[in-house]
Amino acid sequence: MEEVIKFYGLGPFYFKYHNKTVSGSAWVSKRALSIFMYLLLEKKRTVSVEELIDIFWEGSDLEDGKNKLYNTIYLLRRSLAKDGIPKDIIESVSGGYSINNAYEIWADWDYFEKKTDQMIHEKELEVEELEELFQLYRGDFFPALRYEDWTEIQREKLRENYLNLIEILSNKLYQAQKFRDTVNYLHRGIEYDPYRENFYLLYIKALVKLGRIAEAINSYKKCEQILKDELDVLPGQELKNEYHKIKLSRELSETIEEDLTFENNDDSGAIICNVDVFKKIYDVELRHVRRQKGEFVLIKIDFKGVKLPITFSEAAVKISFMLRSCDVICINNYKIYLLLQDMNLINSGIIMNRVNSFCEALELTKKPSIDIKEIS
């Protein structure tokens, strides 16, 4: 069986055949290489002599153009043969030239276009397949010929598919909580197209998940500046909302770190705070554990319908003394919320035993309901 000839045009052009890699950079005629690329792009049809002359010798008359074309085809075949490629891969047919379909040919741009079209229109690809396609796209289609009109349509089509690939792959990775990979792929996408707001939106969200708040804010400002300078528009509402949410969150964190004292007056037991402060502390702890891959425990004790021999506030204070000084307690509507820092479900058992002993000592006819969860 004849070996497949593999052509690579996404990035610098080269081809492989019989374990040999050829770039064509040493060929006598650069025009011969360009014609070869064009015939490969149009390999499913015969390209007429007139079409080739119009593209590659636009200012020549027909006879002069034919002489130049025939000479260039001769140089092309000679260069191919020198590099071990059968020269009859360029087939002369009546009135034109084509790629000989007797040879099995694979082209990275054809494969990439087919798979990414499937990704967009037909079926969902696995992350591994998407990453393989990402690696295949080494650069724009035939970059050495970026100023040739005949490459423009195909280049833009493949480039758009590449950006759609990054979008789909990044969303999948974000949903899988692979935030670092999400950031890396989107960084490449933003380099290719700095005007895509949806790239910035997910990029910023992933940076926040990684605890890289300053980078997230700077990325928004970069997007805002680019859109203003180049397109004279402002970021869309969704992106602006995300930015303001991040900025507010950062300001709240700084306020907590600067203004709150995490100690009781007698330097024992947990911090008792109101709902608003508790929420702020919860948000800070949530970002901390995601950044450091740690955990904390959240406990809700619901005293609704429970008759206490002491006041509800007194019960909350007594429970606070069962906790550490780094823990936090909040009272709201006959519910007591406990946040146990740097603790997992297994180690929180001692706290639960203390709470249960406290309830037994009060000789309650109805016990409070307790909900406990580990946050990581």
Q: Kindly report, residue by residue over 273-320, the tens digit of the pLDDT.
A: 888 888 888 888 888 887 777 888 999 999 888 888 888 888 888 888
Q: Pick the more confident residue, 25 or 202.
A: 202
Q: What is the CATH number of domain 271-375?
A: 3.30.70.270
What predicted TM-score, i.e. pTM, was given to this entire model? 0.67
| pLDDT reported for residue 212 | 85
Q: How confident is the model at residue 262 (pLDDT cuts 50, 70, 90)?
A: very low
- Main-chain phi, psi angles of 333, to 5 degrees: 50, 55
CA distances 48 to 43, 58, 66, 101, Å, are 12, 14, 11, 17
Instruction: With residue 335 as reference, give the H or E element that holds it.
Output: strand 335-340
| pLDDT reported for residue 264 | 40
Q: Is the pLDDT assigned to residue 252 strictly greater than 70?
A: no
Q: How confident is the model at residue 332 (pLDDT cuts 50, 70, 90)?
A: confident
What value does the mean pLDDT of the chain take? 87
Q: What is the CATH number of domain 5-107?
A: 1.10.10.10
Q: Is the pLDDT assigned to residue 70 strictly greater than 90?
A: yes
Instruction: With residue 79 as reference, give the H or E element that holds it.
Output: helix 62-82
Burial of 309 (0-12, 13-18, 19+ CB in 10 A): exposed
Give the architecture-level CATH label for domain 113-251. Answer: Alpha Horseshoe (1.25)
Per domain, the residue ranges of the chain are 5-107, 113-251, 271-375
Instruction: Give the integer Cα–Cα distance in Å for 24 and 2.
Output: 22
Instruction: Tell me the pLDDT tens digit for each residue of 196-232.
Output: 999 999 999 999 888 888 899 999 999 999 999 888 8
Q: Average pLDDT, stretch 113-132?
A: 90
| pLDDT reported for residue 251 | 59
| pLDDT reported for residue 248 | 67
